[in-house]
Amino acid sequence: MEEFWNKRYDSESYIYGKEPNVFFRCKLDEITPGRILLPAEGEGRNGIYAARCNWEVDAFDLSVSGQMKAMNLADEYGVQINYKTGSMDNIPFAGNTYDVVALLFAHWPESLRAAYHQKLISFLKPGGFLILEGFSKLNLQYTEKYPQIGGPRDIGMLFSVDEIKSDFADLEILILEAKEVELSEGENHKGTGHVVNFVGRYNG
Ligand SMILES: C[S@@+](CC[C@H](N)C(=O)[O-])C[C@H]1O[C@@H](n2cnc3c(N)ncnc32)[C@H](O)[C@@H]1O
């Protein structure tokens, strides 16, 4: 998996672009800046946006190539983020710390998904928010027409509203919907697709 992503990121260009995901940006803009954790941060577009908005950013990913590109992007914008290589199996940060945990297109093997999601709840402070956008199971119907939309082809790695509701049952649901979306994020998220959007609050 690590090799797969290192190879994917081994290019000059940012495969998901340098700008943040739109759902993430809109939701983050509604919250007073504090501390944010971004698991599976890739090339850094979302964490660097948060840092530009005065958030204190911790991030991690399996991919050292993703980390290097993120650090270059941070330099480009003149901001700092604390980005470690690491895995969801062994998250390199402390729990009960964050005002926001944000998962953008972070897809896991089906057998691990629920445990990974539940683990992330323990990283939120009381009152903290979990923001998620990821491809829904219906996205598979869009990939023929829009091959550049991206997303796993394994249906078990794609999300449903019911799975997200159950994984994050300890959070108060503020937004939970599956919907069609137009993505224009680099060369690898381009076209019409289908996502699950979620915002939940941990009330302690
Ligand atoms: C589709 S990319 C999304 C990157 C970024 N969140 C974004 O939206 O630009 C998925 C990322 O998940 C990372 N990843 C996959 N499995 C992981 C794991 N178990 N622990 C940490 N990162 C993981 C990959 O290395 C890859 O960078």
Cα separation values, 201 from 11, 50, 59, 118, Å: 37, 19, 20, 13
**Number of C-beta neighbours around residue 32 at 10 A:** 7
Q: Is the CB of 23 under 6 A from ligand 1?
A: no
pTM: 0.98
9 pLDDT above the threshold of 90 = yes
Average predicted confidence (pLDDT) for the chain? 97
Domains in the chain, CATH or no CATH each: 2-201 (3.40.50.150)
Ligand 1 closest atom vs CA 103: 6
Q: What is the 3-state composition of the chain as percent helix, strand, coil, each rounded to the nearest 5?
A: 30, 30, 35
* C-alpha–C-alpha distance, residues 111 and 115, integer Å: 8
Q: Is the CB of 17 under 6 A from ligand 1?
A: no
Name the residue of 19, 90, 105 whose CB sits within 8 Å of the most ligand 1 atoms, as the mutation to test its pocket: 105
pLDDT 10s digits, 96-118: 999 999 999 999 999 999 999 99
